[in-house]
Amino acid sequence: MKKSSISSLIPIGVFVVFYLTLGIIFEYVMKIPMGFYNVPVVVAFLVALLVAVLQTKGVKLDEKFAIMGNGIGDKNIITMLLIFLLAGVFVGVAGRDSAESVAYFMLSVTPPRLAVAVLFIISCFVSTAMGTSVGTITLIIPIAVSISEGSGFSLPLCVGTVVGGAMFGDNLSFISDTTIAACNGQGCKMKDKFRTNLAIVVPAALITLAIILVLSFKTEIADRTIKEYDLLKILPYVLVLISGVIGINVFITLLIGIVTGSIIMLATGSAGFPDLISAMGSGASGMFETSMVAILVSALCALIRYNGGFDALLNGIRRVFRGKKSGQLGIGLLVGLMDVATANNTVAIVMANPIASEMAEDFGISPRKTASLLDTFSCITQGFLPYGAQILVALSVVTTLGYDLSAFEVIKNLFYPMLLLISSLIFIFFIPEKKITNEAVISE
């Protein structure tokens, strides 16, 4: 491994410039809908990887491949890839009908004035069970629009409530790609990271709910829209959530959801066997880009580490952030800045993982707390990005339904990400970790 070299970080800069430049051109110059998500992130990382390969001097090409192979072949990377694929299969099998049944069941037993509050709870539950904020937003936003139209609640409030709730699950879910990336990247158990996160996110969620209730009681309401639902289709999500919470291995948890969802689809006639297999394939295919990004980032980081790039970055961070509390804030800022650059919180976590691991070791931060910081701060940043998938998808669905809404109207109603940031800072600077996790398993 070579000495510390700040120039070894150039490949990351190349990725950021390539990605942001094309995204801005597509989104704001060419006016392409969801322009940032038309930028091929895999191609952007291939360009960055090529730069890293060219930067690695004095080493034969075969040896460079060996360096990259060692980075990709890490046990945590392999585990991450397998979980990504299984999570995709589960979402493909369970389908939107199941999550929609969860939503409409909860709305059917709720007083009209509490409809928006229930939207938040539904979004939190569904995103935690599904492990995808974008999927939750796509599913629940039509319900939010219907509630706004039929009850008198403002559309920005309803949409912002759903986006905030979706970010809750993206941060907390056992099958979210952000959770998977953070936990495997730091080598900690998901249930331990869950316990650490829970104490941070629950206060933010409860205060968000209180704010929504206050606004609800100040609103003149009319009625709400309820569609038919099937209680049986709720079962796969409930089982996955319970299994994850009680600490069952993530592979077993996902298999339980896949098997249960498959049985229900076949037994109810929702799909034949060929359709079921096709749904599994489609779900897994949806995770291919994320998996490929994880592979390319692992190879890129291996070369950057070999060239001394991470040592240079860590030396710079050490000069700015001193002590455990300051180091935690540094990890949060690190992943937040990477998320601003990539507009993808999973990519940001994967990129930040190696640097965060070294920072955690240097500052004496536990793996579970590091994973929690990476996931939490990436979700905070992602929730506010006007060019992020969550807000862009929400606006796209609203537009499809015939309504006009700007990103900044939604951002003003993102109470949960705002409060999550405040809660995170409080727990970093004022509350020792032993008070927010199981003391029996903490040894800081």
Q: What does the pLDDT look like over 204-233, one tens digit per residue?
A: 999 999 999 999 888 776 655 566 777 787
**pLDDT confidence bin for 234, thresholds 50/70/90:** confident
pLDDT at residue 205, rounded to an integer: 94
Q: Which residue has the tokens 């950057």?
A: 304
Distance CA 408, CA 391 (A): 10
Distance CA 294, CA 367 (A): 19
pLDDT at residue 396, rounded to an integer: 77
Question: Does 418 score more than 90 pLDDT?
Answer: yes
Tokens of 156: 């920005």
More confident position, 384 or 94: 384
Q: What is the rounded average pLDDT of the residues 254-266?
A: 87
Question: Does 57 score more than 80 pLDDT?
Answer: yes
In terms of average pLDDT, the best of 48-52, 85-89, 353-357 is 48-52
pLDDT at residue 425, rounded to an integer: 93
Inside any domain, residue 331: yes
Distances, alpha carbon 1 to alpha carbons 117, 175, 390, in Å: 54, 35, 40
The conformation of residue 261, written as its DSSP 8-state character, comes to H
pLDDT at residue 355, rounded to an integer: 83
pLDDT at residue 97, rounded to an integer: 67
pLDDT at residue 444, rounded to an integer: 38
Q: What is the mean pLDDT of the chain?
A: 81
Inside any domain, residue 297: yes
Tokens of 310: 């991470």
What does the pLDDT look like over 7-20, one tens digit per residue?
888 888 888 888 88
Task: Kindly tell me the sign of the dihedral angle through the C-alpha atoms of 431, 437, 440, 441.
Answer: negative
Distances, alpha carbon 272 to alpha carbons 101, 164, 184, 269, in Å: 20, 36, 36, 7
Radius of gyration of the chain (CA): 22
What does the pLDDT look like over 88-104, one tens digit per residue?
788 788 766 666 676 67
Inside any domain, residue 193: yes
Inside any domain, residue 291: yes
AA identity, residue 244? G
Contact 296, 46 (CB under 8 A): yes
**pLDDT confidence bin for 203, thresholds 50/70/90:** very high
pLDDT at residue 109, rounded to an integer: 77
Q: What is the rounded average pLDDT of the residues 394-416?
A: 82
pLDDT at residue 99, rounded to an integer: 61
Question: Does 442 score more than 60 pLDDT?
Answer: no
Distance CA 349, CA 55 (A): 24
Q: Which domain holds residue 256?
A: 72-439
Indicate the number of domains in the chain.
1
Closest to 132 measured CA to CA, from 92, 106, 170, 76: 170
State the DSSP string of 141-168: HHHHHHHHHHH---HHHHHHHHHHHHHH
Q: What is the rounded average pLDDT of the residues 19-42?
A: 79
**pLDDT confidence bin for 419, thresholds 50/70/90:** very high
- Terminal-to-terminal C-alpha distance of the chain: 30
Instruction: Give the residue ranges of DSSP H helices in 307-414.
Output: 309-320, 324-342, 345-363, 367-384, 389-400, 407-411
Q: What are phi and psi of 367, to 5 degrees?
A: -55, -40
Q: How many CB atoms lie within 10 A of CB 232?
A: 13
pLDDT at residue 245, rounded to an integer: 57
Question: Does 441 score more than 50 pLDDT?
Answer: no
Question: Does 391 score more than 60 pLDDT?
Answer: yes
Distance CA 213, CA 120 (A): 11
Q: Which residues contact 161 (CB under 8 A, 6 or more apart)?
A: 116, 119, 120, 123, 144, 212, 413, 415
Distance of CA 235 to the CA centre of its chain: 23
Contact 290, 91 (CB under 8 A): no
What does the pLDDT look like over 173-189, one tens digit per residue?
877 778 888 888 888 88
Contact 310, 112 (CB under 8 A): no
Distance CA 311, CA 315 (A): 6
Inside any domain, residue 199: yes
Closest to 375 measured CA to CA, from 243, 247, 184: 184
Q: Which residues contact 251 (CB under 8 A, 6 or more apart)?
A: 82, 83, 86
Task: Report angle CA 432, 196, 91 to the nearest 5 degrees.
Answer: 165
Distance CA 243, CA 286 (A): 24
Task: Report angle CA 377, 304, 368 to the nearest 5 degrees.
Answer: 35
Question: Does 236 score more than 90 pLDDT?
Answer: no
pLDDT at residue 160, rounded to an integer: 93
Contact 244, 174 (CB under 8 A): yes
Inside any domain, residue 50: no
Name the maximum alpha-carbon separation found in the chain: 73
Q: What percent of the chain has pLDDT over 70?
A: 88
What does the pLDDT look like over 116-162, one tens digit per residue?
898 898 888 878 877 778 777 877 787 788 778 766 788 899 999 99
pTM for the full model? Answer: 0.70
**pLDDT confidence bin for 437, thresholds 50/70/90:** very low
Question: Does 440 score more than 50 pLDDT?
Answer: no
pLDDT at residue 322, rounded to an integer: 73
Closest to 164 measured CA to CA, from 198, 197, 199, 119: 119
Tokens of 138: 């796509």
pLDDT at residue 144, rounded to an integer: 82
Q: Which residues contact 113 (CB under 8 A, 6 or more apart)?
A: 216, 217, 219, 221
Question: Does 53 score more than 90 pLDDT?
Answer: yes
Question: Does 302 score more than 80 pLDDT?
Answer: yes
Distance CA 194, CA 196 (A): 5
pLDDT at residue 171, rounded to an integer: 83
Inside any domain, residue 23: no
Inside any domain, residue 344: yes
pLDDT at residue 224, rounded to an integer: 53
Contact 198, 187 (CB under 8 A): no
